[in-house]
Amino acid sequence: MPLGRLLITAGLLLVAAGLVITFAGRVPFHLGRLPGDIRIQGRNSGFYLPITTCILLSAVVSLVLWALRR
């Protein structure tokens, strides 16, 4: 991949990440609090494993990359 195309792709990814971070609080569902995410709270510590969130994000990223390759 030529350097120019790589820089454009990296720039678009940074813009997309910035938009996601900016508008993440306004989405009607909260990533990280989906059913299937494991949260265990103790008195002095806590454990959190976002299984469903990871699967959902992986599926979305896979679909986007698949669409970009076509």
Assess whether 25 and 56 both reside in one domain: no
Assess whether 22 and 36 both reside in one domain: no
Assess whether 25 and 40 both reside in one domain: no
Distance CA 70, CA 55 (A): 23
Encode 11-26: b = buried (16+ Cβ within 10 Å), e = exposed.
eeeeeeeeeeeeeeee
Assess whether 16 and 40 both reside in one domain: no
The model's pLDDT over 18-58, given as tens digits with 9 standing for 90+, comes to 888 788 777 666 767 788 899 999 999 999 999 988 998 89
Assess whether 37 and 56 both reside in one domain: yes
- What is the extent of the structural domain holding 46? 31-70
pTM beyond 0.75: the answer is no
Number of domains the chain contains: 2
Assess whether 22 and 39 both reside in one domain: no
Assess whether 14 and 36 both reside in one domain: no
